Structures are given as structure tokens and as C-alpha cells.
Amino acid sequence: MADRQQQRRPVVVLYERIVEAIHQGVYPPGSQLPTEPRLAADLGVSRPALREALILLQEDGVITVRRGVGRTVNHHPPRRGFETLKPMEELLGAGQAVRTVRLAQTTEEPTDFSAQHLLLPAHGEVRFWESMIEVNGLPSCLAHEWSATDETLTGLGLAPAQALDAPQDTPSTMLRLLLEAGRGMPLKGSSTVVATMLGRRRGEQFDRPADTPAVLVTQVVHAGRTPVLAAKYMLPTGAPVLPVWQAR
């Protein structure tokens, strides 16, 4: 079994490389992949390994193979985990009453977290939002969000003043606004989930004991290879179920 897993590992890595290239727009949805010899040369791999990876991509619905046409990238290839990028309000509030309450909207010096994930200089200012997402009237998710610098957002074609600083009739998370402002932009997110406890300050915000078990989700959103948003979401026990999509 170990030998078999070792033999398959390069194919799985190759599969991931092709999926990542699709997500980055190298092979856009609706386009045809290069011919097998050309693709093998571009990726620097053997044709047998490539052929096996392409079979897996076809089985998972990432590409469609048609005789006489070739291999076409599907318009809606399956994505993994939280990479089906949706704002937390939408993930938590399917069929329920959801309200986002803004607790803080300011600029601050970069924290270790925001500086690391948004590639920020140690000194300067970064936009920071703190929001409470209520579901059916109950505090369900505390959101901390940091955006990339205005220069970075402007370079990507986003006007920060319009996207994030314009008055809102109905408050929302920063991610929701960026998704709306960046329609057509290849945004993608990666997340980690860990078990923790609320702690004293967050317990007060949820009106729950400090030792209440909770889930902490950290998320980083990229436009291509440029990070545009970093976030932490705290969900105590009793919060709505957080859906996760997975694919091989």
C-alpha cells in the first residue's frame, strides 16, 4: 500500500498544479487545454503521469473530454473547502434572518496576523473592521477583517473609497463588499479551522462564559497571487452549522 501511495503522489501533485493554473486563469473556464504533448512539455512531466492526472480531472468534473474537440475546462469546476468563496453571512444564514452589526471600523497599525497574510510593512496603517453577525437575533459569529492597502486594491482595479468606505444602508462584512466590487475578478480564498474557547473579551461580546468552546476560522482571500483580505471568524457552540465543500 505504501508503494502504491508513493507512486500516486506525483500524479496528485500534478492534478493540483493544473487545478491551480485553472483558478489563476492560465487555462480559463471554457478554454481548451493544450494538446497532451504540449501540456506535458509546458509542465515538465511525462505523458503517462499527465494522462493519469487528466483522467482524474475528468472524473472530478474539472474538464470535459470530447472526441474530435479535445479537453475543455468546465465553466464551474468544483472547488475545495471554503474556496467556494462566499461571505460568512451567506454561509451561516441560508433560509434564516441574518443581520450584520458593525462594532468597529477604523485603521490601525498592522498586527502580526495582518502583516503576515497581507504582506504589509511593519509600520503604516491598515483598514480594520469588527462585526457581529446575528442569526435569528442571536450573536453567532464575530468577524475581524483587514484589507490590503489602498495602493494594492487600486492596482487590481478596485476603488477602495467606493468598495469599502462608501456609506452602507445595511452593514455587511468586508468580504461581501469586496466580492460585489470585484465581480469578474478571479478571487479565491483559503481557510483553516481550529477549536478554541471564547476567552473573556469575546465571551462578553457573545454574552457567554469565557470557557465556552468555539471554532476559529482564519481566511485569506487572493486576487490571483495578491492577498486582498485577511479575516478571523469566531463561532461559539450553538452557532449555525458552517458548510464545507470538499472534492478529491
**What does the pLDDT look like over 16-64, one tens digit per residue?**
788 888 878 899 889 999 999 999 999 999 999 899 889 888 877 889 9
Q: What is the pLDDT of residue 145?
A: 98
By the 8 A CB rule, do 106 and 114 touch? no
Q: What would the CATH number be for the domain defined by 88-236?
A: 3.40.1410.10
What is the model's pLDDT at position 3? Answer: 39
Q: Tell the burial category of 174 from Cβ atoms under 10 Å away from its Cβ (0-12, 13-18, 19+).
A: buried
Q: Any idea which of 6-20, 84-98, 140-154, 234-248 has the lowest mean pLDDT?
A: 6-20
What is residue 176's predicted lDDT score, i.e. its pLDDT? 92
Classified as helix, coil or strand, 5 is helix
Q: Given pLDDT bands bounded at 50, 70 and 90, which one contains residue 82?
A: very low
Taking 90 as the threshold, does the pLDDT of residue 148 lie above it?
A: yes
Do the domains spanning 2-73 and 88-236 agree at the CATH topology level?
no
What pLDDT score does 84 carry? 65
> Which listed CATH number (3.10.20.30, 1.10.3720.10, 1.20.120.1200, 1.10.10.10) goes with 2-73?
1.10.10.10
Query: What pLDDT is recorded for position 131?
Result: 97
**14, 30, 43, 87 from 8: Cα distances, Å:** 10, 28, 17, 35
DSSP of 160-193: HHHHTSS--SS---HHHHHHHHTTTS-EEEEEEE
Q: Taking the complete model, does pTM exceed 0.75, yes or no?
A: no
> Could you state, in order of their start, the residue ranges of all structural domains in the chain?
2-73, 88-236
